[in-house]
Each structure stands twice: as structure tokens, then as C-alpha cells.
Amino acid sequence: MRLATYFPALVASALAVEPFWNEPDTGLETFLRSTNWTENSLPALKEMRAIPDFDFAARHFLEDQKYSFYRTAAAGEWSYRNNLEVWSKVKFRMRMLSDVTKVNETMATTILGYNFSAPIFIAPAARGGYGDPERAEINFMEAAASENILYTTALYASKTIEELGAAKSNNTLNGPQVTFQQIYTNANFSVTWDAIARAEKTGAKAIIWTIDAPAGSTRHRAARYDTTNSNSVTSALTWDIYDQMKNRTSLPIIPKGITTVEDALIAIEKGVPAIYISNHGARQLDHSPSPLEIAYEIHRNAPDVFSKVDVLADSGVRYGTDVLKLLALGVKAVGMGRPFMYANCYGLAGVEKAIQIMKTEISHDAAQAGIHDIQKIPSSVLNMRALEDGVFIMEKPGQY
């Protein structure tokens, strides 16, 4: 039996704390009782109505070890829960009676100048083969092409850089499919240079350099199954490596795992074309901030960051409203990790459906919020007073 709550409801009410739901109750389980669904099988794809439904589906369908690798987060998973719950701190200030008939025409965006149909992308995540052993990340590549969104391939994907390169479409909004390649900095640098060279050869258009893995991470849920990180990454992570990387490739390099305004500003000084704010789905350090809190810190201290470079963000995004909140702060495009890994249990159709659910929600929610241009959402559409409580303010702007 797979429980969806981690606090028994009675204990929770006695302590007057709310139980944490692994995913919000979307009515899926109740509905499935009236169907022929059996525990430990995959519900029909048509029953997937919300992004969190894919977590329920994967949890019941996958072997515990595989689900645990996808689901795990650092330590007490306080950041994991914060990533999901923090969105409710920010309320919409919808302006009514503002004609929103053209909102759909404003869904398309650019990332580093490339054209995409929506401001969402598939975040880099290892071991897509757990969801679909045969096709693994090929489904991400094909779904990204058919839905015209960005796929950022992971270095530790189940398929090789070359296998994924061969699966690219020739027929997208950009012509040949545009992908960005994620890399870690291996303790043996020649492994890193080799990965970059291979990515270049397959036509990747940018390198996403993961900077938030200077050590192993404390992940109890995964350690239980001995599903540890296979990364032999270096702890000697510094900006010097960026300079060395620049020497080795002409591709733009996007640091992934920016969580403070200071690091965002240093990255811009270094000349990066984009930054990627993320706490790695809360898998690295517990009590690391959510992307909403990071984006707000930058918005309060150095709002120019959002106009100087393209800002990508991920961690805990599950609803169209989550995307709109980040966009209103100036984020250019928003990624999801686990939802696509879970959706991959259904293969290509599942990944495509997850993308479609998000697009529909973004479009409907933008209209509901009185937003007529998804590319130019005023931050006044958000009431962020609750984020102000505890936000970091730089004492000497310009010195960091």
C-alpha cells in the first residue's frame, strides 16, 4: 500500500498542523475506484488531468526503488515541501474586465533567441529509463519537438548524448530541433571536456553547467535502496572552471543552481547569456530556497538581472499559476523535472500530455488573472507581501 500522506491525519489534527499531501487531492483516487484500475498498475492516461496525477500514477506503477530515485529529496525534505507549498504565499491581483482574447497568441517565447511555443521546458534529469526502459529520454526529445518546447538533455541520461542527438527532429519552430546539454564538472576534467565536445557534435545549442553539486547529497529515501548519485563530480567548483570552459567551447554556458542575488550578479559579470535558478528539486541541500523565493530576492535587490540575461527557473513547478508567478517576476522560461519523469511511465503520449496540460493551464490561468501578454506580465499582478517577510536585502548593493 502506498500512502499519500506522511503524517497520519489524526496526529496532524492533534498537533494542529496540516498534513503534507504528497500531491494535492485531485479526485483521482476517488475516481479510479469506479474504474477497473487495480493498485500497482498504471491508471489510464485519460485519467491524468493534472500534473500531480502523474506522481500518483508513477508511485503505484513503478518499483519502489525507481520511484524513490525520482521522488527523493535532501534530508527532511523540508525544501521539497516548501518548493510545492510556497506558491500559496503569493496571491493574484487579477484585474477584471481586461480583454484577454489574444492571450494565446502570446504564449510563444524565445530562449537565447530560439523560438518555442511556450515558456516551459523539460529540465535535465538522470535515468529516464526508469519510466520507460526501452525509449527512456527519446520520449522527451520527441515530445519536446512535437510540442515545440525546449528539452535540456542530462549528462546522466539513460540514453547517450549521441543516441539523443540522433532522435532530434528536423522540423520545429527553429528548423532542426534545439536542445541544451546539461553537464556536471567531473573530478577528471577530460571527462567534462569530452562531454562538451560530444554535445557540440550533436548540435546542442548551449551547455547547462550544473553548479549545485559540489558533494554527494543527503538523500535518505534513495539511500534506502542504495540508489545513490553516480556522479564523480569535483568539489573544487569555482568560476575559474567557467573560464576554462569558455576556452573549450563557443557554446553559451548557463550556470544551473543559482540561489542568491550575489551569485546571479557574479554570473552576469562573468558574461553568461542566461542563468538558471533552481534548488535542484530540493535534492541537494535541505532548507535551500524555492525558485519563487530566489526570483523574489533578485527582484528586490537587482531587478535588472531579468532584463540583462534570460533567466530560467525550476523546482516544485506543478501548475500553470506557478509558471505565471515566476514569469511575473521576470523569469523567461520554467522547467519541470519529476513531472516529466513520472509522465514517461506512459511513454511519449504521457510526456506530450503533461506538456499539453501545462500549456492549457497557463493559457486559462493567464486569462483568469487578466493578463493579456504572457511575455509582459506586470509584477503588480502578484501580491508578494508574504515573501517580503524574511527576504534577504543586500546591505551594499554593488558589493557582493
Ligand X SMILES: Cc1cc2nc3c(=O)[nH]c(=O)nc-3n(C[C@H](O)[C@H](O)[C@H](O)COP(=O)(O)O)c2cc1C
Q: Which is nearer to ligand NAG, 302 or 367 (CB)?
A: 367
**In the 3-class helix/strand/coil scheme, how is 108-133 assigned residue by residue?**
CEEECCEEECCCEEECCCCCHHHCCC
| Residues facing 233 on adjacent strands | 186
Q: To the nearest whole angstrom, how small is the minimum distance from the Cβ of residue 220 to ligand X?
A: 15
Q: Which of these segments, 26-34, 151-159, 242-250, 325-333, binds ligand NAG (CB under 6 A)?
A: 242-250
Q: To the nearest whole angstrom, how small is the minimum distance from the Cβ of residue 191 to ligand NAG?
A: 5
The alpha carbon torsion through 354, 184, 201, 126 (nearest 10 deg) reads -30
Q: Under DSSP, is residue 79 helix (H, G, I), strand (E, B) or coil? A: helix
User: Per-residue x/- mask for ligand X, residues 235 to 264, rule CB under 6 A?
Assistant: ---------------------x--------
| CA distances to 130, 230, 251, 281, 317 from 159, in Å | 12, 15, 22, 22, 25
* 338 known member of a binding site: yes
- Exactly one of 22, 117, 146, 169 binds ligand NAG (CB under 6 A); that residue is 169
Site for ligand X contains 50 (CB under 6 A): no
| CA distances to 119, 143, 151, 175 from 146, in Å | 15, 5, 11, 12
Q: To the nearest whole angstrom, how small is the minimum distance from the Cβ of residue 285 to ligand NAG?
A: 28
Q: What cell was used for 143?
A: 515530445
> What is the number of other CB atoms lying within 10 angstroms of the CB of residue 34?
7
> What is the number of other CB atoms lying within 10 angstroms of the CB of residue 78?
14
220 a catalytic residue: no
Q: What cell was used for 316?
A: 516544485
Footprint of ligand X on residues 300-329 (CB under 6 A)?
314-317
Catalytic pick among 60, 220, 280, 372: 280
* 364 known member of a binding site: no
Site for ligand NAG contains 103 (CB under 6 A): yes
Q: To the nearest whole angstrom, how small is the minimum distance from the Cβ of residue 151 to ligand NAG?
A: 14
- Please give the DSSP secondary-structure letter assigned to residue 8: -
* Catalytic positions: 280
Residues in touch with ligand NAG (CB under 6 A): 36, 100-101, 103-104, 114-115, 169-170, 174-175, 188, 190-191, 243-244, 247, 360, 363, 367
| List of residues contacting ligand X (CB under 6 A) | 69-70, 83, 123-126, 154, 156, 182, 210, 256, 278, 280-281, 283, 314-317, 336-338, 341
